[in-house]
Amino acid sequence: MAIAGADPLAAYQGLLCGGLGALCGGCENPALQISNTIVFVTPLITTGIAVALPFRAGLFNIGAEGQLLAGAVTYTVIGIKLGNGPAPVVIPVALIGGMLAGSLWAGIAGVLKALVGAHEVVTTIMLNYVAQWLVRFLIIGGPLQAPNGFSASPPTGPGARLPTLLPHDNSLIIFGLPSSVYRVHTGLFIALAAAALFAFLLWRTSLGYEIRAVGQSQRAARYAGVDVRRTIIVTMLIAGAFSGLAGAIQIAGVDHGLTDKYFSDTTGFDAIAVALLGLGSATGIILASILLGALHAGGAVMQSDAGISANLVLVLQALILFSIAANFVGAIRRLLPFGRKPAALPPDLPPAAGLMSESATPTVQT
Amino acid sequence: MVHKRLGILGLAAVALMIAAACGGSSPGTTAKQIKVGLVTDTGGLNDKSFNHLAYVGLQKAIADLGIKGDVIESKNGDEYVPNLTNFASKGYDLVLGNGFLMQPAIGTVAGQFPNVHFAIVDGAGTDASFKDLKLPNVQDLLFKEQESGALVGAMAGMLEKQGKGPANTHVIGAVGGISIPPVNHYIAGYKWAAAMEDPSIKVLVGYSNDFSDPTKCSSVAKSQIGNKAEFIFQVAGGCGLGALQAAGQAKVYSFGVDADQKDADPSVIASALKKVDVAVYTSIKSVVNGKFQGGETRFSLQNDATGYTLDNFNLPADVKAEVDGLAAKIKAGTLTPPADIPA
């Protein structure tokens, strides 16, 4: 960075300020920075789950982006059609619609994997393209294009908008700025609830147990009486629902309609890093989402305060991610054995033996 | 647990900083220096056209007017609002948004900061359905792209009429990015002037639905060349570089757009100019002089902000005379190229 002619301290200060609202210099507003970071963090949590859950079942879901888009499109359609209805009815209906659409999108890959053995990496990547081009078609010349000919859909109705945490008011001043600049919306709580649901599903339900069993050894799981095909399909359906939820929340809380930003959206791909850095645990996913969201939001402040080129910002962010992945994850994993869920990767027992002894009960039941 | 601790840390930082009275009004400053923030669209500063020109205008203002200028490049559409807010919240005097697609973001942020000046190239401050909010603190920097389009269109028409096209097919093409007004203005002028010079000409118009991926524009251009087009006019930003290269490979001529794209491909015989740098500089100057006005500012041949430049081609003198004559007529107002693509 010094070679690039910028002040390294100012750069990291900018990144910290823009990301976490800490150590802000100049005239940066920390509350605004935190708000911006949370807006980026929210969809990362749910898409991170959508990658982590199949990962537990030994499936690599690269298609979170496509599933997110499916959810976003569906939410937009419902939001336009029913947008003038009462929010307590419209929002849940539209959110569930988005989840179902994401589910369907991921389910295609799940069914293909379970029945034909088509590799889910290939199918989910391909379905990403289908979704991305479908969005393009829909809002450029397609049925969802706004009547005035722009590359965006009409905005969703007022009943389909998640409220922001602070009132959306240009004249009310909070922390020195109009309160409408803080874009943090209630979707954050939905995402956190989703993370709790994910942890519960994985560790407290028999389905979660089956998912983990399939992930460790399909053969052993089958021997223990788990229907592997069914588990694969169900896992993908649930994962897709989480991704679809992310897309739906983005429309509901931030964008209020499809825009061309979804052509180049990368949330579903960042989610892969989130899931891997988060070691597939709910807490880990939230922390990793905060890290990636902070890097994303901090880049702008780094550019404007330290005068660093946007490309160098990307290099630095990648380097930070790289060093965290390389050095710290192992250490964190060693420090984490509090409670019953130490981000458990395979247990010490040979997997098959452990599974057989534990899964005696379900076999008897079936 | 760790998360909660982080949250508390963040809140503490907020409280600390608010106490330190950080905000728009910096009371301690002497001899106020005008601060200008430029937010690019997703094309980035190295797009060789639009954002690059805005940066040139900003640099010129830094050198000539002694302002302080900063840039944030948007990597994705969801950064428009935070990036604009970043400058506005720090009390910048003028926040420049670059590009048609940033209109709703400008509309949102300009509504929140009525005391900050905003300017947007190719648009206005709008609501989510792209309806102009007519905010008094937003300057719309708009161009008569149809004038520049007409000049290169006339060039293509004249060359076809005189039998100087590569195979003289009387077919020419235009590759647009997305069908939005600034793109269609160019194509409208192009088609209008080409047909005026050569009534037998056929103008093919295609869209790539993209502004950044060259392969998409390349395939649109190839299909037009396959239909005998022998002049390709790209109106698609970074995507259009692919159209220029496709023209080069097929040994037909092409026209660049916005900036002088002479170096993009040897097939570029001329570029239709849109001098974003002039518009940006003019806007900054209006703030420096205290003469900022909201609403539409139209840039055209009148203020030397549209036009064409000759590139890798030795244009016959009579063709050049005809094109320059057309420019003079448009400037004088005796001829007006249409803003909508003629049938």
Residue A352 belongs to a domain with what CATH number? 1.10.3470
Q: Residue type at A195?
A: A
**Residue B64: what pLDDT?**
94
Tell me if A310 and B44 make a contact (CB, 8 A cut-off).
yes
Residue B20 has a CB neighbour count (10 Å cut-off) of: 10
CA dist., res. A184 & res. A35, Å (int): 5
Query: Could you tell me if residue A192 is inside a domain?
Result: yes
Taken in order A290, A295, A296, A298, the sign of the CA dihedral is: positive
Complex ipTM: 0.80
Residues of chain A with Cβ-Cβ distance to B98 below 8 Å are none
Q: Residue type at A256?
A: H
- For residues B49 and B259, the answer to whether their CB atoms sit within 8 Å is yes
- For residues B138 and B132, the answer to whether their CB atoms sit within 8 Å is no
Which DSSP string corresponds to B181-227? HHHHHHHHHHHHHHHHH-TT-EEEEEE-S-SS-HHHHHHHHHHHHHT
Residue B342 has a CB neighbour count (10 Å cut-off) of: 12
The runs of H, that is alpha helices, within B66-144 are: 80-89, 103-112
Nearest CA of chain A to the CA of B229: how many Å?
A: 25
Residue A159 has a CB neighbour count (10 Å cut-off) of: 17
Q: Which residue of A has its CA nearest to B18?
A: A175
The CA-atom distances, in angstroms, between A26 and each of A127, B27, B333 are: 45, 13, 50
Query: Could you tell me if residue A34 is inside a domain?
Result: no
Tell me if A34 and B14 make a contact (CB, 8 A cut-off).
yes
Of B78, B82, B121, B83, nearest to B103 (Cα)?
A: B121
Kindly tell me if the per-residue pLDDT of A134 is higher than 80.
yes
- For residues A123 and A112, the answer to whether their CB atoms sit within 8 Å is yes
* Among the partner residues B72, B77, B180, nearest to A300 by beta-carbon distance: B72
Query: A160: helix, coil or strand?
Result: helix
**Which domains does chain B possess?**
34-143+279-299 (3.40.50.2300), 145-274+313-332 (3.40.50.2300)
- Phi and psi at B50, nearest 5°, equal -60, -60
Burial B41-72 (b: 16+ CB within 10 A, else e): bbbbbebbbbbbbbbbbbebbeeebebebbbb
pLDDT band at A349 (very low <50, low <70, confident <90, very high): very low
- For residues B182 and B298, the answer to whether their CB atoms sit within 8 Å is no
CA dist., res. B44 & res. B61, Å (int): 20
CA dist., res. A39 & res. A61, Å (int): 24
CA dist., res. B216 & res. A48, Å (int): 31
Tell me if A27 and B113 make a contact (CB, 8 A cut-off).
no
Is residue A331 classed exposed, middle or buried when 0-12, 13-18 and 19+ CB atoms within 10 A define those classes?
exposed
Provide CB contacts within 8 A for A330, sequence distance 6+.
Answer: none
| Residue B248 structure tokens | 């080069």
Of A294, A343, A349, A310, nearest to A22 (Cα)?
A: A294
CA dist., res. A13 & res. A301, Å (int): 9
Mutate to test the interface with B, among A65, A68, A181, A279 (most CBs of B within 10 A): A181
Q: What is the pLDDT of residues A2-46, one digit of tens each?
A: 556 667 778 888 888 888 887 777 677 888 889 999 999 999 999
Q: Which residue of A has its CA nearest to B82?
A: A36
Kindly tell me if the per-residue pLDDT of A148 is higher than 80.
no
**Stretch A122-142: mean pLDDT:** 91
Tell me if A30 and B13 make a contact (CB, 8 A cut-off).
yes
Tell me if A28 and B90 make a contact (CB, 8 A cut-off).
yes
Of A223, A210, A225, A214, nearest to A365 (Cα)?
A: A225
Task: Residue A326: give the domain boundaries.
Answer: 42-164+183-332+341-358
**Residue A353: what pLDDT?**
39
**Stretch A172-194: mean pLDDT:** 89
Taken in order A315, A320, A326, A329, the sign of the CA dihedral is: negative
Q: Residue A180 carries which DSSP code? A: G
Nearest CA of chain A to the CA of B86: how many Å?
A: 7
Share of chain A above pLDDT 90, in %: 48
**Residue A12: what pLDDT?**
82
What is the tally of structural domains in chain A?
1
CA dist., res. B294 & res. B248, Å (int): 43
Provide CB contacts within 8 A for A84, sequence distance 6+.
Answer: A157, A158, A159
CA dist., res. A1 & res. A299, Å (int): 14
Strands of the sheet with B117-121, listed across from one edge: B68-73, B35-40, B94-98, B117-121, B138-143, B295-299
Query: Could you tell me if residue A31 is inside a domain?
Result: no
* Among the partner residues A151, A266, A307, nearest to B180 by beta-carbon distance: A151
pTM value surpassing 0.90: no
**Residue B284: what pLDDT?**
95
**Residue A17: what pLDDT?**
84
- Residue pointed to by tokens 């850095």: A277
**Residue A331: what pLDDT?**
65
- For residues B229 and B172, the answer to whether their CB atoms sit within 8 Å is yes
A136 touching B (Cβ < 8 Å):
yes
To 5 degrees, how large is the angle CA B240–CA B243–CA B248? 135
The CA-atom distances, in angstroms, between B262 and each of B50, B95, B228, B310 are: 15, 31, 23, 8
CA dist., res. B190 & res. B127, Å (int): 31
- For residues A81 and A97, the answer to whether their CB atoms sit within 8 Å is no
**Stretch A79-85: mean pLDDT:** 90
A76 touching B (Cβ < 8 Å):
no
Kindly tell me if the per-residue pLDDT of A151 is higher than 90.
no
3-state DSSP percent of chain A in helix, strand and coil, to 5: 70, 0, 25
Query: A153: helix, coil or strand?
Result: coil
Query: Could you tell me if residue A366 is inside a domain?
Result: no
Nearest CA of chain A to the CA of B90: how many Å?
A: 5
Which DSSP string corresponds to A257-303? S-BGGGGS--HHHHHHHHHHHTTT-HHHHHHHHHHHHHHHHHHHHHH
Query: Could you tell me if residue A33 is inside a domain?
Result: no
Kindly tell me if the per-residue pLDDT of A196 is higher than 90.
yes
Query: Could you tell me if residue A295 is inside a domain?
Result: yes
Tell me if A287 and B3 make a contact (CB, 8 A cut-off).
yes
Is residue B115 classed exposed, middle or buried when 0-12, 13-18 and 19+ CB atoms within 10 A define those classes?
exposed
Q: Residue A254 carries which DSSP code? A: I
Query: Could you tell me if residue A219 is inside a domain?
Result: yes
Q: Count H helices, E strands: chain A? A: 15, 2
- For residues A226 and A210, the answer to whether their CB atoms sit within 8 Å is yes
**Stretch A246-250: mean pLDDT:** 96
B330 HSE (CA, 13 A, CB side):
28
| Residue A348 structure tokens | 């010490």
Query: Could you tell me if residue A46 is inside a domain?
Result: yes
- Phi and psi at B202, nearest 5°, equal -115, 125
The tens place of each residue's pLDDT in chain B, 343 residues long, gives: 445 555 544 444 444 444 333 444 444 444 578 999 999 988 788 777 788 999 999 999 999 999 999 999 988 888 899 999 999 998 899 999 988 889 999 999 999 999 999 999 988 999 887 888 999 999 999 999 999 999 999 999 999 999 888 888 999 999 998 888 889 999 999 999 999 999 999 999 999 988 888 999 999 999 999 999 999 999 998 889 999 999 999 999 999 999 899 998 999 999 999 999 999 999 999 999 999 999 999 999 998 999 999 998 888 999 999 999 999 999 999 999 999 998 8
Q: Residue type at A288?
A: A
Is residue A149 classed exposed, middle or buried when 0-12, 13-18 and 19+ CB atoms within 10 A define those classes?
middle
Residues of chain A with Cβ-Cβ distance to B51 below 8 Å are none
